[in-house]
Structure 1
Amino acid sequence: MEELLQIGLGLFGGLALFLYGMSLMSSNLQDAAGERMRAILAAVTKNPVVGVLAGALATAVLQSSSATTVMTIGFVAAGLMNLRQAIPIIMGANIGTTITAQIIAFKLSDYVLGIVLTGFVVMQLGRQGQLKFIGTAIFGFGLLFLGIDTMGAVMKPLATNPVFTDLIAQVAGVPVLGVVVGTVMTLVVQSSSATIAVLQNFAATPGPDGASIIGLEGAIPILLGDNLGTTITALLAAVGQSRDAKRLALSHCIFNLSGCLLFVGLIGPFASVVAAIPPTGAEVEVIARQIANAHTLFNVSMTVLWLPCVSLMVRLVMAVLPEKPLRPRNPLADGSLAHEAPLAPDAAAA
């Protein structure tokens, strides 16, 4: 019981460190470069490819697809951008958010405390302005990896627990169940980057046979669920916004849901393609990078498939969320008859 308590505290404590570090890094990068990213998004042309590149760039710089999504929904709600311009930006944001997984795949354990120290020193040197934002972002980046290391350390005992390994084997053998697990995890944590980081760390834990405890084919369905769960951010941001803003959020859901349905039936071939991408070696050593590559490949593939069909996506979301019919005017309801001019004396006499 005590061991389970320590594992739970370590896992959730490490997750809290990761989320706090991610929040620090993202918010301070937004303070440092947010206005530039807003200008880039606001100036995007009608060229869908430019929209994808703008969305990917903004998300890679801000390290938050949620920030890019919320900004884009805000532009649509304000009438500064139409659906045809905004949908490619959301697609690009999905690609840009995979940069986080790629960064996490680097093994920076030996440098974590140095990164934290560097960020702290820069924070102290720059009491305000850009230097402070940059220092705090570096500090948050260090905390992010410190949280990953903490989670990794407490997961190791689970790898030898037969009950736990049997449970993981069941999840790995049923792709749909893996999708559900990934979706629920992201809905609860409200960060696909966090759940993918947990997945990368967990998959890199060796089981009793020395191989990855879950394997690439077991990790991919959870990854698909993580992508599906992240659409909740767009839906929440669209609450109370214009009809087009709600349509944009719906297009984000359709994009990820269609990809999930497509790839969940191609787990084996997809895993083979991902495994063929360098680096190669023992699975437990390279699986974190493979998961990051799968994340990137999934979003790039779906963007390539959907980008020529932006007009179809627009028609689809407009069919699901049509314009509200105008209510016929009731003159009695708005009191318009009560304010009519009184009859002229001659008319009244008649």
Structure 2
Amino acid sequence: MLRRFTLPLVMLLLAYVLWVGSEFMELALGVAFFIFGMICLEDGFKTFAGGALEALLQRSTDRLWKSLTLGITSTTLMQSSTLVSLITISFVSSEMISLAAGIGIILGANIGTSTGAWLIAGLGLKVDIASYAMPILVFGVLLLMQKSKRVKGLGNLILGVGFLFFGIHFMKEGFTVFQLGFDLSAYSMTGIYGVLVFTLIGTLITFIMQSSHATLLIVIAALAAGQVSYENALALSIGASLGSAISAVIAGFAANLGGKRLAAAQVVFSLVTSLLAILLINPLIQLVDWMSGYLSIGSEDYLLKLALFQTLFRVLGALVFMPFISQVEALLIKVLRFVPKSIEQPIYIYPEVLETPSTVVVAVRKEVQHLFDNAFGLLARGLSLKRSTLESEESLSTAVKTTKRIFPLDVEDAYEEKIKSLHSEIVAFISEAQMRESTREATEELYVLRQASRDIVSAVKGMKHLHNNLSRYGLSANLAVRDRYDQIRLDLARLLRELQVLLAEEPSSTTALSLDSLRLAVQKASRTMTDELDEMIRYRRLTASIATSIMNDENYVTGIANNLISAVNALLTREVDETAEAFNLDEADIQQLMNKEVDSPLESLKS
């Protein structure tokens, strides 16, 4: 209830402050421009995040020094540690990089944040930066009006730079005007109490604005205008680092298990770094003075000294933290474990069912079908299609072609919540049933149903890998890549629809043949996709690396499809008269039909 009224109250308070104190207007405008510029930069880089950025992250994290360097350079380039953290969290969550590698990137990103202070202190407040911002914005808007997604992304990047420049300009002017009416330097505090009070203020500012970059800009602009003393400005910059830890906690609430662990690591790092900076502030100030002489920084150039202080204490924190990354990783994995929000409960299996073998088999079959139903919804979302679409007679081809976004899906959390818990209950129930007196037929059927449960679990795990690349390439601007992934999504969606239809119908003597037809269709589609990719590589319509990714994903689809068909086969064909088994095709029969180049049975699945 309180959170619902927080934003309106903040906006009303801000409106009142701006109304009664015109001195705040330019200052607030500068902050707004700066933060909006960061948002534009993030949006721009997200446009290109589906290719080179992720590939770079994935290839450059096998050593700690590489992860650290990548964090520094990417944050320096983007001027947004938030975006780097979000991308890193997504990679740790999907297990594409280790938690230790993610921690290394976060350490580098924290060091990279200090480069913004150098740019602002060394250039932003000493040059008429607004004169450069105006033409930059003109070109940015022009690019933003184009149809190409990548051109628009470039336009967002250029706009971001322009608004950052404007933000710096108005912040500088705002503090100059603000100084005429107020003198904050009169509230300057010295000693340890001054350090603690202004560290707390810097923390609160960063928490409110959710940006340590914006806090540093305010601190540097205030220092340039004489509104804060040099010592208090140093404490404010320490608070900016500590405030980013609070932001990480908030981000961690919405993340999955991997994201929570990485956010916790960032909190620990920020706390350690800030504590070291507070305890060693006097030696660090002396070190800054000593190094300033070698770097040709004037003794009164407090702006560049502040930037140097920022870099030194963040590097110090990283150096102290780095030897213990393995221990921190092990501790976080041990302490932070998955706590399901709502465990899926069995519907059909309970102790009373164990009284007779026949009721056990019926109950387990229904529970496995319940598991399949859960997996059906999860797989549909993994394909970025609504469950209702798959369950209707709507054209799947149209639904795939008109997809506007890839649905976000935390497969690990969904698996733990909807699949693993139910599968564990099924396995435990079957084990309990097998300890009791039972018939040979019931024992065999329970064995088959347990394997069906495993097949469903394997299919969901396959979607975990498939969804990673669907998120990256599913809406690729390269039409050849988009078409291949559309075909992958369409084939699997058609299979899911057909399997659900079979489960809804009464089993008959043709059920086994229908499943064999689907199995043959899967093999045929896989071969067709491979042949098409080979041709595209030969004619250089696709790079070998992207084609390899598509081939790997086609293998995942084939595995998912075969697991689902096997599971449905176990659920249905046991209910059919044994004479139908004479029609079943074995693996040799399927391969023989494949070699005859029959028409693809997938045609029969078209909506």
TM superposition score category, shorter chain reference: 0.7 to 0.9
1:235 and 2:249 correspond? yes
Which 10-residue stretch deviates more, 193-202 or 294-303?
294-303
Alignment of 1:287-326 (within 5 A): 287-318=302-333, 320-321=335-336
Quote the residue 2:297 is aligned against: 280
Q: CA deviation at 1:181?
A: 0.5
Quote the residue 1:24 is aligned against: 40
Structure 1 distance, partners of 2:183, 2:140, is: 47
Deviation by residue 1:139-193 (Cα, 9 ceiling, x = unmatched): 3222222222222223225446676322234699611111110110000001110
Alignment of 1:101-250 (within 5 A): 101-108=117-124, 109-121=127-139, 123-124=141-142, 127-129=146-148, 130-159=150-179, 164-169=184-189, 174-206=194-226, 213-250=227-264
Q: Is the 8 A contact 1:115 1:138 kept in 2?
A: no
Q: Is the 8 A contact 2:188 2:228 kept in 1?
A: yes
1:78 and 2:94 correspond? yes
Letter in structure 1 aligned against 2:213: S
Structure 2 distance, partners of 1:323, 1:22, is: 33
Deviation by residue 1:52-82 (Cα, 9 ceiling, x = unmatched): 1122222222221111111111122222222
Deviation by residue 1:6-38 (Cα, 9 ceiling, x = unmatched): 112222122111111221123213324663222
Structure 2 distance, partners of 1:226, 1:153, is: 22
Letter in structure 2 aligned against 1:304: L
Q: CA deviation at 1:202?
A: 0.6
Q: Is the 8 A contact 1:33 1:62 kept in 2?
A: no
Quote the residue 2:561 is aligned against: none
Structure 2 distance, partners of 1:290, 1:26, is: 29
Structure 2 distance, partners of 1:191, 1:2, is: 22
RMSD: 3.2
Structure 1 distance, partners of 2:24, 2:56, is: 43
Structure 2 distance, partners of 1:198, 1:64, is: 16
Structure 2 distance, partners of 1:100, 1:33, is: 22
Deviation by residue 1:255-298 (Cα, 9 ceiling, x = unmatched): 01011111102212212222332342262xx3222222222222
Alpha-carbon distance change, 120 to 339 in structure 1, aligned in 2, over 3 angstroms = farther
Letter in structure 2 aligned against 1:46: D
Q: CA deviation at 1:334?
A: 7.0
TM-score by length of 2: 0.50
Q: Is the 8 A contact 1:179 1:224 kept in 2?
A: yes
SS in structure 1 of the partner of residue 207 of structure 2: helix
Find 1:261's aligned residue among 247, 266, 275: 275
1:66 and 2:82 correspond? yes
Alpha-carbon distance change, 32 to 45 in structure 1, aligned in 2, over 3 angstroms = closer
- Percent sequence identity is 27
Letter in structure 2 aligned against 1:117: P
SS in structure 1 of the partner of residue 96 of structure 2: coil
Q: CA deviation at 1:336?
A: 3.0
SS in structure 2 of the partner of residue 80 of structure 1: coil
Structure 1 distance, partners of 2:348, 2:86, is: 37
Quote the residue 1:51 is aligned against: 67
Which 10-residue stretch deviates more, 33-42 or 12-21?
33-42
Structure 2 distance, partners of 1:140, 1:18, is: 8
Alpha-carbon distance change, 92 to 163 in structure 1, aligned in 2, over 3 angstroms = closer
Deviation by residue 1:204-232 (Cα, 9 ceiling, x = unmatched): 113xxxxxx43332211111110111123
Name stretches of at least 5 consecutive residues in structure 1 with no aligned partner: 207-212
Structure 2 distance, partners of 1:40, 1:249, is: 22
Q: Is the 8 A contact 2:245 2:271 kept in 1?
A: no
Which 10-residue stretch deviates more, 264-273 or 274-283?
274-283
Question: Larger RCO: Structure 1 or Structure 2 (Cα < 8 Å, ≥ 6 residues apart)?
Answer: 1
Q: CA deviation at 1:339?
A: 4.0
Letter in structure 2 aligned against 1:137: L
Q: Is the 8 A contact 1:216 1:287 kept in 2?
A: yes
Letter in structure 1 aligned against 2:175: M
Q: CA deviation at 1:307?
A: 1.4
Q: Is the 8 A contact 1:42 1:80 kept in 2?
A: yes
SS in structure 2 of the partner of residue 238 of structure 1: helix
Letter in structure 1 aligned against 2:119: I
1:342 and 2:359 correspond? no
1:95 and 2:111 correspond? yes
Structure 2 distance, partners of 1:94, 1:230, is: 9
Structure 2 distance, partners of 1:226, 1:316, is: 26
Q: Is the 8 A contact 1:55 1:91 kept in 2?
A: yes
Alpha-carbon distance change, 269 to 118 in structure 1, aligned in 2, over 3 angstroms = same
Name stretches of at least 5 consecutive residues in structure 2 with no aligned partner: 1-16, 359-436, 438-607
Q: Is the 8 A contact 1:234 1:249 kept in 2?
A: yes
Compare CA radii of gyration and give the structure with the larger one: 2
Quote the residue 2:58 is aligned against: 42
Structure 1 distance, partners of 2:191, 2:25, is: 24
Letter in structure 1 aligned against 2:298: G
SS in structure 1 of the partner of residue 167 of structure 2: helix
Q: CA deviation at 1:319?
A: 5.2
SS in structure 2 of the partner of residue 105 of structure 1: helix
Structure 2 distance, partners of 1:178, 1:75, is: 36
Alpha-carbon distance change, 150 to 122 in structure 1, aligned in 2, over 3 angstroms = closer
Number of residue pairs matched?
Answer: 335
Q: CA deviation at 1:86?
A: 1.4
Q: Is the 8 A contact 2:91 2:97 kept in 1?
A: yes
Letter in structure 1 aligned against 2:199: V
Structure 2 distance, partners of 1:63, 1:40, is: 18
SS in structure 2 of the partner of residue 106 of structure 1: helix
Q: CA deviation at 1:196?
A: 0.4
Q: Is the 8 A contact 1:185 1:195 kept in 2?
A: yes
Q: CA deviation at 1:106?
A: 3.1
